[in-house]
Amino acid sequence: MNIDLAETWFLGGVEIPGRLVLAPMAGVSVQAFRRQGRRYGAGLVCSEMVSVAGIQHRNERTLGYLRVSSDEHPLAIQIFGSEPAAMAEAARMVEAAGADIVDINFGCPVKKVTKTGAGASALDDPGRACRLVEAVAEASSLPVSVKMRRGVENGSRTCLSLGPRLVEAGASSLTLHPRSAKQMYTGVADHALTAELVSLVDVPVIASGDVTSRAKAQTVLGTTGAAAVMVGRAAQGNPWVLREMMGDAREPSREEVVAELVLFMRETVRELGEHRAFGFLKKFYGWYLGRGRFPRPFKQELVMLPSLDEVETRLFAAAPGARFVLERLLSELPDPADEVLLDSLPISIYGGG
């Protein structure tokens, strides 16, 4: 089976230049992660989920998720909430921020999200789920996508009855992760369910779950008829998996790994600030340096260092040639001034002044 993963498709009126979608992942999908994903072959990238309650309360950290860089497009910003009016307000802000697509999260299984009626719990209330989609579709001119699980309970087929109703409510695309919310990330994604959903709706379906290689991506696309596949955990600290899926199976050199990690660190500091970035980045060291690329104790050494400057110094000591790779990467990035900043959004959306 040889499916062209570089083939263009459309989500609503948005042209997506490739059939790989980089998943929205909480605590991972910062702007630096998304920009890297686009460089390595993702046709569409997604923000981590943004709380509409945080938007309503003008929480500074929440609003920070709405910064958009020129090299992210096409970009979907994902929102979650349980009240139609709040979701509509968030959709308007997503559009003003410069996103290309507004995505709704009906898939998150984490209790602090589901207990509010958001995330995967919306699957147990189809009427409310449809009202949320309708509110978002009416509030914004952007195409609306919905990411969902098969259902809350193991073995559930809720997605098959709800999916067509979400399309009727205004969804231009559906993403299905065919595990139940109770499964979290255990077991195997049942893509036979994805194929059934594809047969029931006339909008593009994105297949999510267990897509870890070019062979797996092509198999899922070929057996389900999905328009695209979503890549999640396999790309954490490993943009080279996207490159492999696009047909370039070269393993990265140590210098390339270190250069990408240092660039990711610097871009994350620019986005989150030094203090937040210091703790946030620690999980990425193992993701980048694992897979046999560096000895395991090296990651532990980095985690114990007291500053990001010292982490960077130690990385360059381990792979001196990475400095030259980094220089090349930096020369290819767009000017940070091309980013949509919060103070460039309409005051009426933020309220006040």
Would you place residue 63 in the very low, low, confident or very high pLDDT band (cuts 50, 70, 90)?
A: confident
Would you place residue 338 in the very low, low, confident or very high pLDDT band (cuts 50, 70, 90)?
A: low
Indicate whether 151 pLDDT > 80. yes
* Average pLDDT in the chain: 93
pTM for the model stands at 0.93
| Secondary structure (DSSP) of 30-84 | -HHHHHHHHHHT-SEEEPPPEEHHHHHTT-HHHHHTT-B-TTS-SEEEEEE-S-H
Indicate whether 43 pLDDT > 80. yes
Q: What is the pLDDT of residues 293-335, one digit of tens each?
A: 999 999 999 999 999 999 999 999 999 999 999 999 999 887 6
Q: Which positions are catalytic?
A: 108
Q: Which tokens is 219 given? A: 């198999």
Q: Tell the burial category of 42 from Cβ atoms under 10 Å away from its Cβ (0-12, 13-18, 19+).
A: buried
Task: Name the region of 44 (left: φ>0; alpha: ψ -120 to 50; beta: rest).
Answer: beta
List residues bridging with 68 in a β-sheet: 340
Q: DSSP E strands: which ranges in 133-218? A: 144-151, 171-180, 205-208
Q: How far apart are CA 17 and CA 189, in angstroms?
A: 26
